[in-house]
């Protein structure tokens, strides 16, 4: 088991461009979460999936953000028409209620987005 | 609503103890504790569930006061490796079902010196 992986690790883009991030959860973890973290703050919930179903999306997210988890495996997070305020670390986490301690979330290394 | 952590920062010498608190204004289903080192991902430490059940690493202890919706993380005999930012994540149960949706506090920076 190699843990949660995210790609790319760093992304620099110009304002107005679209970006897409990928998250590969731990194998067989049926829950997948996306968070955003800015410097000096805790992770902020964006959205989460149970298998392929997106159960909730934060009201803080604009329509420029979309996430998918086809076939309940990897997930992608797309940001359209990026703004400088989107600059942050985007973290992915996965969990399986029937394993380990229950709902503990295993985080990936994150994708650091810088919008110029 | 974001839980409130206190203190914001703690400085210790190796071997000293520390307590980090997390308080919520909402009725909680569970409290999770994570530690994050600079430039790394948060790492799970402990889950405290409504009803008193605790699950986590043996060297970490914590409490959950359901009446006050407060949790405390106890770090005893601190080691250099304990340094990092500690976050509590709170979950509000939806009809008794847990989906693991966490709202994190702003973090407590712990620094342990030799």
Residue B60 is classified by DSSP as: -
pLDDT of residue B23: 96
Distance from CA of A22 to the nearest CA of B (A): 16
pLDDT of B96 reads: 60
Query: Touching check for A5 and chain B: CB below 8 Å?
Result: no
Count the Cβ atoms, other than its own, within 10 Å of residue B58. Answer: 5
Average pLDDT, chain B: 89
Residue pLDDT, tens place only, B79-90: 999 999 999 999
Cβ separation of A50 and B99 shorter than 8 Å? yes
Quick one: closest CA in A to B1, which residue? A44
pLDDT digits (tens, 9 = 90+) for B18-35: 999 999 998 888 899 999
A33 CB-near residues (< 8 Å, 6+ apart): A45, A46, A47, A48, A49, A92, A93, A94, A95, A105, B100, B101, B102
Percentage of chain B exceeding pLDDT 70: 89
Q: Does A83 touch chain B (CB under 8 A)?
A: no
**Average pLDDT value for residue range A43-68:** 91
Contact between B41 and A31 using a beta-carbon 8 Å cutoff? no
Q: How many CB pairs lie under 8 A apart between chains A and B?
A: 70
User: Lowest-pLDDT range, A84-88, B1-5, B50-54?
Assistant: B50-54
C-alpha span between B32 and A92 (Å, rounded): 16
- Identity of the residue in B41, B43, B98 whose CB atom sits nearest the CB atom of A91: B41
Give the residue with greater pLDDT, B7 vs B30: B7
């Amino acid at each position: 088991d190699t843990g949660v992986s995210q790609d790319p690790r760093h992304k620099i883009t110009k304002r107005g461009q679209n970006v897409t991030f990928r998250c590969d959860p731990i194998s067989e973890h049926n829950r997948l979460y996306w968070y955003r973290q800015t410097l000096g703050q805790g992770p902020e919930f964006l959205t989460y999936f149970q298998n392929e179903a997106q159960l909730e999306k934060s009201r803080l997210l604009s329509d420029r953000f979309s996430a998918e988890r086809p076939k309940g495996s990897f997930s992608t997070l797309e940001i359209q028409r990026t703004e400088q305020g989107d600059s942050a670390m985007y973290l992915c986490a996965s969990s399986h209620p029937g394993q380990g301690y229950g709902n503990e979330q295993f985080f990936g290394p994150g994708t650091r987005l810088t919008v110029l | 609503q974001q839980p409130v952590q206190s203190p914001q920062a703690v400085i210790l010498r190796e071997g000293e103890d520390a307590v980090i608190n997390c308080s919520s204004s909402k009725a909680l289903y569970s409290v999770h504790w994570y530690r994050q080192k600079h430039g790394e991902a948060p790492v799970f430490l402990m889950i405290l569930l409504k009803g008193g059940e605790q699950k986590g690493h043996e060297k970490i202890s914590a409490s959950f006061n359901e009446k006050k919706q407060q949790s405390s993380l106890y770090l005893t005999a601190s080691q250099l490796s304990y340094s990092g930012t500690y976050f509590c994540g709170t979950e509000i149960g939806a009809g008794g079902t847990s989906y693991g949706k966490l709202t994190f506090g702003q973090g407590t920076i712990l620094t342990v010196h030799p």
